[in-house]
């Protein structure tokens, strides 16, 4: 159980430092770490391993693949004191391929390799906008896979997509998966995951019958290529992208393995991104209302906020009840270390409730006027259900335990 001292609510989730550069506040970091855990769990479930590549990648590697030139002015580069070039990496195909090329005795028995990291990435946007949605420094999960054949690479690609589906299903934000362009990353084929939203920057064409679709960049007709039904156009916020790369990077950077016949063969690669900090912003954009933030329950900064009465007010005797509730709810397994108590003594219940809604705690419990009665009553605001009810303490616990099961 944590106490909401130290102006946590007032700090909000994120604050801008410079154009496109943001501080994640303590509440923002809690959400980020919850999302990271979901991604870690689902990727490890399909056999991925987490590593950490340097943020700085040697410029020579990017020159070798041609991306030093082709990426254009969004690429942030730096010279060290010895005048050697480095990239502030926006993505790590070069670095990871060079890493795998350096493994001394890679054999077909050790493939597929599925290596990922969750780190800060950089892109010098000409006009950073929409906060975390298009910043210049952002947290991204990038996964790279290495297979022995094209067929095996396809299987790995499909496996990773099942993990992506599970991640977005767990977040419980509506999403679509569409065929995407391979762009500057390159490769054989790609898919994008979008949260449909009117503020999305991508135009998508989605079949009205079978729900398959494409980014409008690459869709040429208005009938579905799979079932022939008419497609409808919608806007989306891209939150993930997968690429079947083939040998574009592994060939040129010599990521080789010993095949069954003893020959040295080139790895078949895939790469897969998830915009971690972007998902935080996109989720509340899609789910929120004008006056309230709504989080996917699993990544709200805290699941439960208990609002205690103001000190010295008539309800002061209920302050102990607020502490009791916060402590008891913190004992319910899924809410453990996930309850925050707003016991600021000089702030009114009304102001604390308004702030709590603005942060978007999924369950806000107000211990107020009716809590000093012989049978104390508390208000429960369930933001995701958009309900507000008055409960006895026993009813409140029943509600919370029930909601956990759903």
Judged by the rule CB under 8 A, the positions of this chain that interact with a second copy are: 5-8, 10-11, 15, 17-18, 21-26, 28-30, 32, 49-58, 73, 76-78, 80-81, 84, 86, 88, 95, 98-99, 102-106, 109-110, 113, 115, 117, 119-120, 122, 124, 126, 136-137, 346
Query: Which is closer to a second copy, CB of 113 or CB of 237?
Result: 113
When the beta carbons of 153 and 219 are compared against a second copy, the nearer one is 153
Q: Which is nearer to a second copy, 32 or 245 (CB)?
A: 32
Query: Which is closer to a second copy, CB of 53 or CB of 307?
Result: 53
Tell me how far apart the 2 most distant CA atoms of the chain are, in Å.
83
Instruction: Find out whether 268 and 150 touch, Cβ atoms under 8 Å.
Output: yes
Residue 55 or 298: which CB sits closer to a second copy? Answer: 55
Residue closer to a second copy by CB (options 231, 255) is: 255
Q: How far is the CB of 32 from a second copy (least distance, A)?
A: 7
Examine residue 31 and say whether the peptide bond preceding it is cis (omega within 30 degrees of 0): no
CB of 257 to a second copy, least distance (A): 11
8 A C-beta contact, residue 57 and residue 78: no
The 10 Å CB-count burial string (b at 16+, else e) for 331-355 is: ebeebeebbbbbbbeebebeebbeb
Is 103 or 332 the residue whose CB approaches a second copy more closely? 103
Q: Given the DSSP bridges, would you call strands 176-179 and 189-196 parallel, antiparallel or unpaired?
A: antiparallel
* Dist CA 397 CA 405 (whole Å): 13
Which of 244, 238, 184, 197 is closest to 214 using CA atoms? 238
Q: Could you tell me where the DSSP H helices lie in 227-318?
A: 248-252, 276-287
CB of 87 to a second copy, least distance (A): 11
The least CB distance from residue 53 to a second copy, in Å, is: 5
Rounded CA-CA distance 41/34 in Å is 11
- Residue with smaller CB distance to a second copy, 60 or 172: 60
Q: Which is nearer to a second copy, 137 or 315 (CB)?
A: 137
Strands 377-382 and 387-392, bridge-based pairing: antiparallel
List all residues 6 or more positions away from 345 whose beta carbon is below 8 Å from its beta carbon.
310, 311, 312
Least Cβ distance, residue 84 to a second copy (angstroms): 8
Q: How far is the CB of 316 from a second copy (least distance, A)?
A: 18
What is the rounded distance in angstroms from the CA atom of residue 19 to the CA atom of residue 24?
A: 15
**Measured distance CA(14)–CA(283) in Å, rounded:** 14
State how far the Cα of 17 lies from the Cα of 28, in Å rounded to an integer: 15
**Smallest separation (angstroms) from a second copy to the CB of 258:** 12
Contact status, residue 355 vs residue 363, Cβ threshold 8 Å: no
Distance of closest approach, residue 122 Cβ to a second copy, in angstroms: 8
Of 8 and 378, the one with the shorter C-beta distance to a second copy is 8
CB of residue 253 vs a second copy: minimum separation in angstroms? 13
In which residue are the tokens 């439960």 written?
304
Q: How far is the CB of 79 from a second copy (least distance, A)?
A: 9
Please, are residues 314 and 373 in contact by the beta-carbon 8 Å criterion?
Answer: no
> 12 Cβ partners below 8 Å, 6+ apart?
25, 27, 28, 359
Distance CA 242, CA 252 (A): 21
Reading the block at residue 307, the tokens are 């609002």
């Amino acid at each position: 159980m944590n106490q909401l001292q130290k102006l946590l609510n007032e700090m909000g989730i994120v604050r801008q430092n410079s154009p496109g550069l943001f501080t994640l506040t303590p509440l923002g970091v809690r959400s980020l770490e919850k999302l990271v855990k979901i991604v870690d769990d689902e990727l490890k479930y399909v056999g991925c391993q987490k590593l950490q590549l340097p943020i700085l990648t040697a410029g020579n590697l990017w020159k070798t693949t041609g991306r030093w030139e082709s990426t254009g002015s969004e690429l942030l580069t730096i010279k060290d004191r010895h005048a050697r070039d480095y990239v502030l990496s926006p993505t790590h195909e070069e670095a990871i391929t060079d890493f795998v090329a350096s493994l001394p005795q890679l054999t077909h028995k050790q493939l597929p390799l599925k290596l990922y990291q969750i780190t800060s990435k950089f892109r010098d946007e000409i006009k950073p906008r929409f906060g975390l949605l298009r910043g210049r420094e952002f947290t991204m999960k990038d996964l790279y896979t290495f297979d022995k054949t094209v067929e095996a690479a396809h299987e790995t690609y499909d496996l990773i997509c099942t993990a992506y589906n599970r991640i977005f299903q767990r977040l419980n934000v509506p999403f679509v998966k569409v065929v995407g362009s391979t762009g500057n990353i390159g490769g054989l084929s790609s898919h994008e995951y979008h949260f449909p939203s009117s503020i999305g920057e991508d135009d998508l064409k989605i079949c009205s019958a079978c729900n398959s679709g494409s980014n409008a960049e690459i869709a040429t007709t208005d009938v579905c290529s799979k079932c022939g039904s008419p497609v409808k156009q919608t806007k989306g916020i891209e939150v993930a992208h997968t690429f079947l790369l083939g040998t574009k990077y592994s060939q040129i950077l010599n990521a080789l393995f010993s095949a069954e016949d003893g020959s040295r063969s080139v790895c078949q690669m895939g790469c897969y991104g998830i915009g971690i900090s972007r998902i935080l912003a996109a989720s509340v954009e899609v789910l929120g209302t004008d006056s309230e933030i709504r989080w996917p329950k699993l990544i709200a900064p805290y699941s439960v906020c208990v609002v205690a009465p103001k000190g010295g007010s008539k309800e002061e005797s209920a302050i102990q009840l607020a502490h009791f509730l916060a402590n008891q709810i913190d004992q319910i397994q899924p809410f453990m270390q996930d309850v925050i108590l707003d016991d600021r003594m000089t702030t009114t219940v009304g102001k604390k409730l308004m702030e709590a809604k603005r942060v978007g705690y999924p369950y806000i419990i107000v211990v107020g006027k009716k809590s000093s009665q012989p049978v104390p009553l508390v208000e429960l605001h369930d933001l995701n259900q958009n309900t507000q009810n008055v409960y006895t303490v026993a009813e409140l616990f029943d509600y919370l335990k029930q909601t956990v099961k759903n």
